[in-house]
Amino acid sequence: MDLDIRKTRTCERCKTVVLLDKVRLLPKNNEQNILLCEPCCNEVKKNKVALGTTKAKTVQSSYASYFCNRCRYNFKADQSKVGLTHNLSCPYCGKIDQLEQRPSRQEVPKLVKQTL
């Protein structure tokens, strides 16, 4: 192996060292290009993978806790679906007037008692 380091570049995607004449450049955004090896370039082009900007595409279903004061029934509903595919109502009594949304445990910051 007598690779001349000056004639190589590192693929920004898979970190493979690529010979300069095998390097491909793809526009990353308006100002920058991304340096890719040939396989990565093909893959990116094929899949149209968004480079650089990782758009928050993860739509997570967030279950929220609800409480029906009418029948004191606790249940969870997928907030991302509420209002879209179904209307929120108590599964027990079917009413909505006494519903209370309870913050899910993950969203509630734990009270950390600092002993100072």
Q: Between residues 88 and 93, which has the closer beta carbon with respect to Zn ion? A: 93
Least separation in angstroms between CB 116 and Zn ion: 45
Tell me the β-bridge partners of 8. Answer: 19
Asked if 11 is part of the footprint of Zn ion (rule: CB under 5 A), the reply reads yes
Asked if 35 is part of the footprint of Zn ion (rule: CB under 5 A), the reply reads no
Residues 88-107 that bind Zn ion (CB under 5 A): 90, 92-93
* Backbone conformation region of residue 83, classed left if phi is above 0, alpha if psi is from -120 to 50, else beta: left
Asked if 17 is part of the footprint of Zn ion (rule: CB under 5 A), the reply reads no
Q: How far apart are CA 34 and CA 13, in angstroms?
A: 9
Q: Between residues 29 and 96, which has the closer beta carbon with respect to Zn ion? A: 96
Q: Where are the beta strands (DSSP E) in 20-88?
A: 24-27, 33-36, 63-68, 73-78
Sort 68 into a burial class: Cβ within 10 Å, 0-12 / 13-18 / 19+: buried
Q: Between residues 14 and 25, which has the closer beta carbon with respect to Zn ion? A: 14
Binding region for Zn ion (CB under 5 A):
11, 13-14, 16, 37, 40, 68, 70-71, 73, 90, 92-93
